[in-house]
Structure 1
Amino acid sequence: MPAIITVIPVKVNGDIAPKSDLGSTILESLGANGIELQDGDILVVAQKAVSKAEGRIIDLAKVKPSRKAIRLAKELHKDPRIVQLILDEAREIVTIKNGIIITETRHGFICANSGVDQSNLARDNAAILLPANPDSSARRLREFVKKQQNRNVAVVITDTFGRPFREGQTNIAVGVAGIKPIKNYIGKKDMFGRKLRVTEIAVADEIASAAELTMGKSAGIPVVLVRGYEFEHVSRASVKDLLRPKKQDIFRHTGNR
């Protein structure tokens, strides 16, 4: 019989303060919600909570837009300071269409506006960036839990991305620790004995999406505990395993501006 997987929301009182101790906040919130960690649990943490704790909030008054940012902002009817942050966080502009700048971020993610966001911020005139290294952020949280509670858990850091071939957004993994983010079925047999040739399951993304169902956007739930999923443990996991090489990306446009 398949295992029962449980998705448990973890309410955090108040907003995550810049430069705060996110690991302690998470453990305190688990305790306040009457949740005791077990080995094999997966902690799913919203990117914005990580970015806030790591001080990735930018005061727009201190951003000086370049000529390129000013030109693009005028074309797209955007704040030139936001456009400058998008350019700063981008490794490459993939395409610009329908008022949206699609970039490849410094991390290798293909997303709108380099992940630069202004929602759910207590401060006006500010923007928040993705963590500088989400895999490292996830590893620090995992190691903190191990040190404080001697529990062997996995950590998945998530963000909400759009998709080029479907409407709506979905949560995906942007950082992982302790869990192999992709499950490879190539060479195994299906239920009728046929050998699988291309099937790989993005388990970290599926965990992220399941967690999003309980997070919401304004419910004060930046942390979710997933319990009961038997995942493959790895000591040096990386979300890079989920990034498709540019030469294999049939949806990607190369006509940059």
Structure 2
Amino acid sequence: MSRVEVSAPEGVPEIRPGADLVDVLLAHVDLADGDVVVVTSKVVSKAEGRVVRGTREELLVGETERVVARRGPTMIVRNRLGLTMAAAGIDASNVATGSVVLLPVDPDGSARELRAGIRVRTGRNVGVVVTDTAGRAWREGQTDIAIGAAGLLVSEPYAGRADAHGNELAVTQPAVADEIAGMAELAQGKLTGRPFAVVRGRADLVLPPREHGPGARSLIRPETADLFGYGAREAVVRALVGDPGDRAPFGAPAAPAELAAVITEVLGLVPSVSTREGGSLTVTFPRGLSRPLAALAFAHGWEVLETDSPSDARLRPARP
């Protein structure tokens, strides 16, 4: 029988800047080899002095790499850690009025320090996960995810394995660090003052003492591989603007045939396809369609080149 347990101790005091989280944790739990210690990012940030005066709006710019989507007062951004979150993960709850909590500077590094401290003081080999709350595309509500990890396999790749019927799995890769974060939050709650949890029963995920693993940052999908790098409205606007600095969220260049089919569907034009220079398209278009043609090219990772004829355009994959 497979059994996984999670416990979250009560009675943890308010965490102040400079607090030794290992001492606080060990005063409330008994650890065993193979346990996974789960810590909310908020107490990590408080201990690291990441509570600052101000509002979310005032501090958002400094924590933002780029805006992903905006709906009224809600802003989803890719923050300086590479995470896509509402308000860059800046939190105004469970903190004094007029202050906010910023995410840790290096969540994976914080997890490594906690793991090392636990090892030194107890001799136990554990994994550590630092969590934060995030929304999900296509789903209402929020759940906790891993934003930092140490000593843990953060995902389990199943590609190449076969199921009970002999079917080969191609892309299955459970993000077990996120699953552990969500499980821990069920015991911790949001308003109960239980920032620590211990998950027991998955020692197979815990790495040897000298191995910290890839960290939770390895779960962040690269900009060029994210199929949803912009919100629907923002994608239209950024494609029409065509700023070269906005190319990465649109991903790698599409195949010539894919872009040709889109141009035909949207503009009613039939490009000719050439295999020169790795593939290019030539389009003859009437006056007034140059901007939508350029936007379609940009959104698919291509660029429009100048030609001798004002009614012709040659398109090629954009260079980095």
* Distance (whole Å) between structure 2 residues aligned to residue 16 and residue 202 of structure 1: 29
Does structure 1 residue 45 correspond to structure 2 residue 45? no
The answer to whether the 8 A contact 2:130-2:148 is kept is: yes
Of residues 6-15 and 164-173 in structure 1, the stretch that sits farther from structure 2 once superposed is 6-15
Equivalent in 89, 97, 112 of residue 86 of structure 2: 112
The Cα of 1:232 is off from its aligned counterpart by: 5.0
Equivalent positions of 1:51-200 (< 5 A) are 51-60=45-54, 81-121=55-95, 123-200=96-173
* Distance (whole Å) between structure 2 residues aligned to residue 246 and residue 188 of structure 1: 28
Runs of 4+ in 1 over 2 A off after TM superposition: 234-237, 254-257
Aligned residues: 230
Equivalent in 205, 216, 229 of residue 252 of structure 1: 229
The answer to whether the 8 A contact 1:181-1:239 is kept is: yes
Taking only aligned residues, the RMSD between alpha carbons, in angstroms, comes to: 1.5
The answer to whether the 8 A contact 2:12-2:24 is kept is: no
The Cα of 1:241 is off from its aligned counterpart by: 1.5
Paired position in structure 2 for 1:74: none
Matched to 1:54, the amino acid is E
Paired position in structure 1 for 2:277: none
Note the residue ranges of structure 1 that are not aligned, 5 or more in a row.
Answer: 31-35, 61-80
Equivalent in 222, 226, 248 of residue 199 of structure 2: 226
Q: 1:12 to 1:90 in 2, by over 3 A?
A: farther
TM norm structure 2: 0.69
* Distance (whole Å) between structure 2 residues aligned to residue 49 and residue 160 of structure 1: 13
1:9-38: CA deviation from partner (whole Å, max 9, x where unpaired): 1224321112211111111122xxxxx211
* Distance (whole Å) between structure 2 residues aligned to residue 112 and residue 181 of structure 1: 23
Note the residue ranges of structure 2 that are not aligned, 5 or more in a row.
Answer: 242-320
The Cα of 1:98 is off from its aligned counterpart by: 3.3
TM norm structure 1: 0.86
* Distance (whole Å) between structure 1 residues aligned to residue 88 and residue 146 of structure 2: 15
The answer to whether the 8 A contact 1:95-1:101 is kept is: yes
The Cα of 1:237 is off from its aligned counterpart by: 2.8
When Rg is computed on C-alpha atoms for both structures, the one with the higher figure is: 2
* Distance (whole Å) between structure 1 residues aligned to residue 212 and residue 36 of structure 2: 14
Flag the structure with more relative contact order, 1 or 2, with Cα contacts below 8 A and sequence separation at least 6: 1
